[in-house]
């Protein structure tokens, strides 16, 4: 079941990311370089690409005598937090903004709903929760912080912001900084929730093993 789930996540992620890029190129009049830069400026795309790579590596590590890719302490939890944030922000702030149709709708649901749910299920079932530490929180926040800094700085030169709630041109710096702080706090709360839940599940698992 573990290998099946990791393979499924990797294949769905690959299909969704590649198809989304093809759909964007078809609808764009820009150069390939411009399309690539814009494409990978979306947190959704970067995170789903990260998920796809990590689960592809995990599917390879499921072979006999191979070391589990997610044995790295905190890695699976961090990836789960990132993709959960993708799903959460989309459902709360972006779902009502547009109504994709056809293949775009399928890809949209894969990137923002189905893959995040599958990753959370994988985390709940296979994460080694006894290795989760509160001290891992600062490291988990590096990726989203670097992303926000990059987007805000690059937007000053390109005038392109991938999400409307961080568009300085339309909202101004004061409002965007408020939204940025809210996003960071949401990451912190989400990370604390996963770490806390993981530690609680680890304690329950240890208790049942002792009882058995």
45: containing domain: 2-211
Instruction: Label each residue of 199-211 as H, E or C.
Output: HHHHHHHHHHHHH
Please check the confidence at residue 70 and state whether its pLDDT lies above 80.
no
> Whole-angstrom Cα distance, residue 51 to residue 86?
12
> Whole-angstrom Cα distance, residue 87 to residue 139?
21
Please check the confidence at residue 199 and state whether its pLDDT lies above 50.
yes
Once rounded to an integer, what is the mean pLDDT over residues 102-107?
Answer: 95
Who has greater pLDDT, 162 or 206?
162
Once rounded to an integer, what is the mean pLDDT over residues 154-178?
Answer: 94
Would you call 66 helix, strand, or coil by DSSP?
coil
Please check the confidence at residue 16 and state whether its pLDDT lies above 80.
yes
The count of domains in the chain is: 1
What value does the CA radius of gyration of the chain take, rounded to a whole number of Å?
18
Sign of CA dihedral 197, 203, 207, 210: positive
The whole-number pLDDT of residue 206 equals: 54
> Whole-angstrom Cα distance, residue 181 to residue 2?
37
Once rounded to an integer, what is the mean pLDDT over residues 7-11?
Answer: 96
Q: If we measure between CA atoms, which residue out of 121, 118, 102 comes closest to residue 19?
A: 102
């Amino acid at each position: 079941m573990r290998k099946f789930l990791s393979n499924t996540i990797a294949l769905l992620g690959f299909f969704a990311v590649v198809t989304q890029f093809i759909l964007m190129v078809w609808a764009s009049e820009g150069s390939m370089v411009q399309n690539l830069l814009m494409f990978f400026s979306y947190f959704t795309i970067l995170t789903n690409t990260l998920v796809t790579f990590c689960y592809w590596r995990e599917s390879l590590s499921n072979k006999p005598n191979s070391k589990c890719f997610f044995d790295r302490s905190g890695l699976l939890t961090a990836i789960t937090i990132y993709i959960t944030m993708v799903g959460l922000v989309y459902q709360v702030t972006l779902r009502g903004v547009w109504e994709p149709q056809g293949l775009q709708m399928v890809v949209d649901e894969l990137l923002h709903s189905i893959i995040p749910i599958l990753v959370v299920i994988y985390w709940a079932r296979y994460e080694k929760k006894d290795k989760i530490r509160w001290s891992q929180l600062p490291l988990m926040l590096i990726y989203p912080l670097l992303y926000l800094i990059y987007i805000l700085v690059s937007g000053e030169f390109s005038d392109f912001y991938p999400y409307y709630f961080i568009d300085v041109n339309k909202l101004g710096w004061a409002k965007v900084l408020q939204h940025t702080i809210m996003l960071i706090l949401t990451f912190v709360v989400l990370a604390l929730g996963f770490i806390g839940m993981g530690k609680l599940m680890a304690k329950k698992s240890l208790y049942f093993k002792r009882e058995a």
